[in-house]
Copies of this chain bind each other. A is one copy, B any other.
Amino acid sequence: MSEKRPTIYDVARVAGVSRSLVSLVLRGSDKVSDASREAVETAIAELGYRPSRAASELASGRTETIAVLIDDYANTWFVDLLRGLEGELARDGYRVSVVDTAGATDTEALRRSVDALLSLRADAIVVARDLPPSLTGRTLTTAVAPPLVVAGTRLDMPEGVDGVANDDAAGARLVAEHLLALGHRRIGHLAVAGGAGAARRASFVAAVAAGGGEVIVVEHDGAATEAEGRAAALGLLRAHPELTAVFGANDLMAIGVLGAARELGIRVPEQLSVAGYDSTEIAASGVIDLTTVDDRSYDMGVEVGRMVRDLVGGRPAAGERRVLEPTLIPRGTTGPARRL
CB distance from A11 to the nearest CB of B (A): 13
Residues of B contacting A86 in the complex (Cβ-Cβ under 8 angstroms):
103
Q: Does A38 contact B (CB under 8 A)?
A: no
The answer to whether the Cβ of A206 comes within 8 Å of any Cβ in the partner chain is: no
Q: Is the CB of A120 within 8 A of B74?
A: no
Please tell me which stretch of A182-190, A213-221, A223-231, A294-302 contacts chain B, meaning at least 4 of its Cβ atoms lie within 8 angstroms of it. A223-231
Q: Mark A19-52, 1 if CB is under 8 A from B, else 0.
A: 0000000000000000000000000000111111
Partner of A63, one of B5, B54, B98: B54
A121 and B259 contact, CB distance less than 8 A: no
Is B286 in contact with A120, judged by CB distance below 8 angstroms?
Answer: no
The answer to whether A226 and B120 have CB atoms under 8 Å apart is: no
Question: What separation, in Å, do the CA atoms of A133 and B51 have in the docked complex?
Answer: 20
Task: Tell me which of A136-144, A158-166, A191-199 binds B.
Answer: A136-144
Contact of A258 among B225, B258, B285 (CB under 8 A): B285
User: Nearest B residue to A3 by beta-carbon distance?
Assistant: B143
Known: A121-B53, A121-B54, A281-B74. A48 touches B3 (CB 8 A): no
Q: Which of B58, B142, B259, B284 contacts A52 (CB 8 A)?
A: B58
Beyond contacts A4-B143, A53-B119, A255-B282: 6 other A-B pairs, Cβ-Cβ < 8 A, are A48-B140, A54-B55, A74-B281, A83-B102, A230-B285, A258-B285
